[in-house]
């Protein structure tokens, strides 16, 4: 049995702050983080829950998306991952992990703020994998700004394009390909419910993701497709060290949670697997919080 699955005190299961100061340029690389995040590389064990599925995971190079991609492959799915070209080093590791499970992997480097690329990305996935059953919208932009005067129109526009427009473009392109039984999973945040003052634009988009997905769920169930939201709390990903939080906040990231530590991406993987699987057949339009005890709503 994986050490991760053995019964233990969850508060001490993973590293606790303080962490080293580690600012990175946007978008950040998981390989440069200290301590290294656990995405399930050696700790996630599958059991065939998604055998034969074909999944597209945006932001699949690191963080939450990487954890979902690894878990999906271990559960028997073929997986396409999208990411920025500058994240190629992280993406290469994920592709190797997917292929090591004997599953088909598709690398999709590109910028999701480009509508044409979003639509092309879906077409490439369907062509390469032979269909699409699971769509995970996860890629996001988060840049802290100390007050409203610092949130420029360029900032606001880029966050909206990355977190909301891309979600719409990708989902709109994917829906015609989704068969009955398929699943759409979006990634919101506790920020949708308890927004931080320094994340004005990011929190706004996360609330938008919740509303969009709930409305989408009502539409898609008419064709037998489910849509749900995962809302993480503070998780140890490159998003934080590349400007998502101030450098001094990264050093104490997760310290104020009930656990006294941030979550690790692999701790979200089972939720993404459940929502993609047939075991979640009666789950639709729901928000699943994984917040270290803070809750959502």
Q: What is the largest CA-CA distance in the chain?
A: 52
Q: What is the 3-state secondary structure (H, E, C) of the chain?
A: CCHHHCCCCHHHCCCCCCCCCCCCCCCCCHHHCCCCCCCCCCCCCCCCCCCCCEEEEECCCCHHHHHHHHHHHHCCCEEEEEECHHHHHHHHHHHHHHHHCCCCEEEEECCCCCHHHHHHHHHHHHHHHCCCCEEEECCCCCCCCCCHHHCCHHHHHHHHHHHHHHHHHHHHHHHHHCCCCCEEEEECCHHHCCCCCCCHHHHHHHHHHHHHHHHHHHHHHHHCCEEEEEEECCECCHHHHHHHCCHHHHHCCCCCCCCCCCECHHHCHHHHHHHHCHHHCCCCCCEEEECCCCCCC
Catalytic site residue 202? yes
Count other Cβ atoms within 10 Å, centred on residue 195. Answer: 16
Q: If 0-12 CB within 10 Å is exposed, 13-18 middle and 19+ buried, where does residue 221 land?
A: middle
Which one of 202, 212, 272, 288 is the catalytic residue?
202
Residues acting as catalytic residues: 202
């Amino acid at each position: 049995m994986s050490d991760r699955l053995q019964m233990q005190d969850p508060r001490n299961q993973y590293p606790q702050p303080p962490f080293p100061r580690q600012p990175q340029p946007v978008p950040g690389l998981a390989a440069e983080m200290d301590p290294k995040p656990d995405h399930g590389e050696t700790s996630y064990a599958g059991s065939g829950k998604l055998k034969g599925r074909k999944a597209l995971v945006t932001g699949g190079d690191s963080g939450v998306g990487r954890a979902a991609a690894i878990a999906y492959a271990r559960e028997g799915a073929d997986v396409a991952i999208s990411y920025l070209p500058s994240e190629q080093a992280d993406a290469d590791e994920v592709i190797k992990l997917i292929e090591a499970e004997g599953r088909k992997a598709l690398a999709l480097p590109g910028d999701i703020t480009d509508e044409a690329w979003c639509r092309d990305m879906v077409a490439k996935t369907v062509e390469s994998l032979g269909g699409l059953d699971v769509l995970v919208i996860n890629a996001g932009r988060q840049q802290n700004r100390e007050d409203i005067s610092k949130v420029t129109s360029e900032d606001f526009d880029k966050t909206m394009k990355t977190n909301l427009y891309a979600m719409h473009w990708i989902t709109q392109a994917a829906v015609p390909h989704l068969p009955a039984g398929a699943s759409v999973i979006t990634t919101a945040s506790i920020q949708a419910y308890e927004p931080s003052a320094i994340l004005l634009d990011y929190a706004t988009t996360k609330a938008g993701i919740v509303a969009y997905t709930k409305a989408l769920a009502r539409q898609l169930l008419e064709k037998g497709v489910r849509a749900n939201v995962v809302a993480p709390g503070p998780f140890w990903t490159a998003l934080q060290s590349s400007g998502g939080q101030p450098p001094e906040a990264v050093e104490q990231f997760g310290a104020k949670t009930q656990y006294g530590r941030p979550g690790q991406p692999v701790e979200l993987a089972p939720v993404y697997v459940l929502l993609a699987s047939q075991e979640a057949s009666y789950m639709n339009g729901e928000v699943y919080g994984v917040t270290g005890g803070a809750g959502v709503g």
